[in-house]
Amino acid sequence: METEKMKAQAGKLYDANYDAELLKEREICADITYELNRLRPSQTKERMEILRKLFGKTKGNFTIVSPFFCDYGYNIEIGENFFMNMDCVILDGAKVKFGDNVFVAPHCGFYTAGHPLDVERRISGLEYALPITVGNNVWIGAHVCVLPGVSIGDNTVIGAGSVVTKNIPANVLAYGNPCKVIREITENDRTEYMK
């Protein structure tokens, strides 16, 4: 028999609001993030231990500034030299993967969860979850919202306040609501700061 968790992993509509297994997993995650967010900033060893226990995959060097919130934790994978500033949220009903050298500014959200437009299905507790992938060397500005199913390519910069509703390719500057490619990142961008 297909469980609600299996349906979520397959990108199907699933019961996120009343399924006992998923409710228990979110409760466990909420307790862990509560513990994380109560630590002093200087308790770096304890923070790393909690995050390694919470996330599905981590590499050696990473920083996540509290407060931080997520739904399950085990669907989150972060690369080497990952930095996420304060007050970020990851709704990880599906996989959320970050590459190496990703910098995330304050107040960002990564939302794999979506709800049916049909009111009867929506109020019955059904939702869907689509994965989010962020490539290597990506910088995401403050107050960015990344929606279900989005991929962001390597070396890309997403400007502050953007709502990312569609895939963004590699090596570009993109911003806006909805977020769109503004231009490619070029050699001029490297020399700009050497003046």
Domain membership of residue 74 as a residue range: 4-194
CA nearest 51: which of 28, 33, 27?
A: 33
Residues catalogued as catalytic? 115
3-class state of residue 191 by DSSP: helix
Kind of pairing between the strands at 126-129 and 14-15 = antiparallel
Q: Cβ of 26: how many Cβ atoms within 10 Å? A: 17
Radius of gyration of the chain measured on its C-alpha atoms = 17
Give the CB-side neighbour count of residue 179, counting CA atoms within 13 A: 28
For residues 47 and 43, give the distance between their C-alpha atoms in angstroms, rounded to a whole number: 6
Q: Cβ of 42: how many Cβ atoms within 10 Å? A: 8
For residues 29 and 176, give the distance between their C-alpha atoms in angstroms, rounded to a whole number: 32
For residues 122 and 49, give the distance between their C-alpha atoms in angstroms, rounded to a whole number: 37
| Owner of token pair 């231009």 | 183
**pLDDT means over runs of 10, the chain (195 residues):** 94 94 98 98 95 96 97 98 98 98 98 95 94 98 98 98 98 98 92 72
74 is written with which tokens?
């085990």
Per-residue pLDDT at 192: 76
pTM listed for this prediction: 0.95
Per-residue pLDDT at 195: 64
- How many domains does the chain contain in total? 1
Q: What CATH number is attached to the domain comprising 184?
A: 2.160.10.10
- DSSP per position, 71-128: S-STTEE--TTEEE-SSEEEE-SS-EEE-TT-EE-TT-EEE-EE--SSHHHHHTTEEE
